């Protein structure tokens, strides 16, 4: 089963998405900031990364760029909120494959993942 890396500094969000994905049969790994996400990407090679933007230590955009540098084929979906239009745009230019706006519905997240895995 596909392996998904969830990156968000908010534990509640990670838990919520984990539950959602595990319920659909995905394998889930979590990271609480960008730096840890880059580490996790190297060691665990997830199929899809769900990446928050505003995080301490290393933000999502930087982490996206680092992950894409490691693996140009990396499939990263940004998790974003209102008021982050410029960052999302920048993320897309930097190779993010999709973005989902918080608070998101289950279907939105799942469909973003299925699309990328297709």
Partner 1 sequence: MELVFDLDQDEMPIFLAETDEQLQVLDEGLIRLEQESEDIDLVQALFRAAHTLKGTSGMIGHKRMVTLTHALENALDGVRKREVEISTAFVDLCLEAVDALRLLREEVVQRRASSVNVEALAERFSSLSTFQEDKEQIAVSMPKVQEQAAPAESGCSIHVEVFIAQDSIASAARAMQVLMTLQGFGEIVRMEPSQEEIETAKPVQRFEAQIKTQASIEEIRKEIGAISEIEKVVVEALDGGEKTASVPSEAPTTIQPPAEAVRNLEWELGRTTQPQAKTAAEKTVRTSVERLDKLMNLVGELITDRNRLYQVRGSFEARFRGDAQVDNLSETVAHIGRITDQLQKEVMSIRMLPVSNVFHKFPRMVRDLSNKFGKKLELVIEGEETELDRSVIEELQDPLIHLVRNSIDHGVETPEVRLQNGKPETARILMSAQHEQGRILLTVEDDGRGIDVERVKAAAVQKGLITEAEAASMGTSEAINLIFMSGFSTAKVVSDISGRGVGLDIVRNNIQRLNGNISVETWPGRGTRFQITLPLTLAIVPTLLVKVEPCIFAVPLVTVLETLRITQKDIRSVNNFPVIVLREKVLPLLYLSKAFGLPNQDASAYQHIVVVASGSTQMGLVVDTLLGQEEVVVKSLGPLVGEVYGISSAAILGDGQVILILDVQDLSRHVGAHYGR
**Which residues lie closer than 8 Å to 107 by C-beta, 6 or more apart?**
none
29 contributes a contact to partner 1 by CB under 8 A: no
> Does 71 engage in binding with partner 1 (CB under 8 A)?
no
Judged by CB under 8 A, the residue of 58, 66, 68, 110 near partner 1 is: 58
H-assigned helices in the chain: 11-23, 34-44, 60-70, 85-93, 106-117
Name 30's Cβ contacts closer than 8 Å, sequence gap at least 6.
Answer: 5, 6, 7, 14, 18
Q: What are phi and psi of 115, to 5 degrees?
A: -60, -45
CB of 12 to partner 1, least distance (A): 5
Residue from the set 6, 28, 49, 53 that interacts with partner 1 by CB under 8 A:
53
By the rule CB under 8 A, 109 interacts with partner 1: no
**Residue in this structure with the two tokens 């997240």, named with its chain if needed:** 109
Q: The tokens of 47 are what?
A: 């199929």
CB of 107 to partner 1, least distance (A): 11
User: Is 80 near partner 1 (CB under 8 A)?
Assistant: yes
Instruction: Tell me which residues touch partner 1 (CB under 8 A).
Output: 9-13, 15-16, 33, 35-36, 39, 53-62, 80-93, 98-103, 108, 111-112, 115, 118
């Amino acid at each position: 089963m596909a392996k998904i890396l969830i990156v968000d500094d908010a534990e509640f969000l990670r838990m919520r998405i984990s539950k959602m994905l595990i319920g659909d049969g995905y394998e889930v790994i979590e990271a609480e900031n960008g730096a840890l996400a880059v580490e996790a990407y190297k060691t665990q090679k997830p199929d899809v990364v769900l990446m928050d933007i505003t995080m301490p230590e290393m933000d999502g955009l930087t982490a996206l760029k680092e992950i894409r540098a490691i693996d140009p084929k990396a499939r990263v979906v940004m998790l974003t909120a209102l008021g982050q239009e410029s960052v999302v745009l920048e993320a897309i230019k930097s190779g993010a494959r999709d973005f989902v706006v918080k608070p998101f519905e289950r279907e939105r997240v799942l469909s973003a993942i299925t699309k990328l895995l297709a």
